[in-house]
Amino acid sequence: CRSTLTARAASGLRSDIRWAITGTPVQNRLDDLFGLIRFLKLDPWQEYAYWNRRIVAPFEKSRAAMGCSVLKCVSEVLQPLLLRRTKQSRDWSGNAIVELPEKIVEVVKVEMSREECEVYDALYSKSR
């Protein structure tokens, strides 16, 4: 994300106030967050060398040993910046901020041919 033309163009915009809105700030890797950090101009985190040294490298080096402390650090950096809303979130008077219809789950059973079953079974076995 840090090297795409779009990310560089967005980061280069001049403004006094910046907002970033996303439902998924981290999709696959912790490093996904860097594009937002850079766009928001959060010093010293917007410098990739600093971000990589303090966040990405320790997390990648040992997720079990240092992962929690790195995630705590990221959380502390982001907490004053984030506004999180869920389906259960309420407004100041206690009303739900969003009303969604009930989820409908429909299970559709299909008959597969012998060849389809063989392919399915092979893929299923490889995924275990």
CB count within 10 Å of CB 5 equals 7
From the number of C-beta atoms within 10 Å of its C-beta (0-12, 13-18, 19+), residue 37 rates as: buried
From the number of C-beta atoms within 10 Å of its C-beta (0-12, 13-18, 19+), residue 109 rates as: exposed
Domain ranges of the chain: 5-78
Q: What is the pLDDT of residue 65?
A: 52
pTM of the predicted structure, to 2 decimals: 0.57
- The closest of 56, 84, 81, 80 to 70, measured between CA atoms, is 56
pLDDT band at 104 (very low <50, low <70, confident <90, very high): very high
Mean pLDDT comparison of 10-19, 20-29, 74-83, highest-scoring range: 10-19
